[in-house]
Amino acid sequence: MFRDLILPPRSEPEEARELLHELARRGCVIGTDEAGRGALAGPVAAASVYLTPEQEERLTALKLRDSKKITALGREKLFSAMNEMGVMWRVFFGDVGRIDRDNVLQASLWTMGRSVELLTQCLPSKPACVIVDGTERIPGLDVPQWTLIRADNLIPSVSAASVVAKVMRDRLMLKMSERYPGYGLERNKGYPTRQHMEAVRVMGMTEIHRRTFCRKILHGREK
């Protein structure tokens, strides 16, 4: 299908837009991204999003971009706007057990694949392409893939997926903070802040902490 279309791993904004429009002429294009890879606790979250041209235009006007460049309040507002527009999205969580067993990269790719499969079930036809943020392809996915560095800041559907993944994971971590007090999860969302690492040293790990990520912290406690 894409023999006549070169999909580079790096792209400037104008080139990315041109390639996206060409892909969209060939069928539905899904964007996927993840959140939570660098956290000490909690799952990795992956989202997949399909945007119509009208939704893409409206969200771009609302300054949609990479979720890391948007405040928490800004992400929530964009997420609400997506839902009001009827944007089609699906999210999936890769648990701590999978992260510790397979490593966080493989767990993230697997989780993105599951979110793509869930969204594909809602589309009228098989997607023409899935755009993946980064350089790694999703293993075993029966859909053409375009791996693109900085896709979360170049491709609106990937930007939207980054927002959905971040919002849904943050909400989950807020709930986890009530179950596991003392680690500051309501503020750090599981990421390795100084307070969070000290809490792990003093109180140890909970069942939502990633063993492979916390070993060095606990090793320091044992010395």
The domain ranges of the chain are: 13-169
Architecture of domain 13-169: 2-Layer Sandwich (3.30)
Place of tokens 């990633």: 210
| pLDDT at residue 18 in the model | 95
**Structural element, H or E, at residue 45:** strand 44-50
Query: In this predicted model, what pLDDT tens digit does every residue of 202-220 receive, in sequence order?
Result: 999 999 999 999 988 887 5
For the range 76-84, what are the long-range contacts, defined as Cβ-Cβ under 8 Å and sequence gap of 24 or more? Answer: 76/167, 78/160, 78/163, 79/163, 79/164, 79/167, 82/49, 82/55, 82/160, 82/163, 82/164
| pLDDT at residue 11 in the model | 94
**How much is the pTM?**
0.94
Q: Which two tokens stand for residue 187?
A: 């503020």
Confidence grade of residue 222 (pLDDT, cut at 50, 70, 90) = very low
Closest CA to 163 of 82, 85, 219: 82
| pLDDT at residue 19 in the model | 96
User: Which ranges of the chain would DSSP assign to H, the alpha helix?
Assistant: 13-25, 53-61, 72-85, 96-102, 104-120, 151-154, 156-179, 185-188, 194-203, 211-222
Q: Which two tokens stand for residue 44?
A: 């990795």
Query: In this predicted model, what pLDDT tens digit does every residue of 92-104 receive, in sequence order?
Result: 999 999 999 999 9
| pLDDT at residue 155 in the model | 97
| pLDDT at residue 4 in the model | 74
Q: How far apart are CA 137 and CA 128, in angstroms?
A: 16
Query: In this predicted model, what pLDDT tens digit does every residue of 123-154 receive, in sequence order?
Result: 988 999 999 999 999 999 999 999 999 999 99
DSSP strand E in 117-158: where?
A: 129-133, 145-148
Percent of the chain with pLDDT over 90: 92
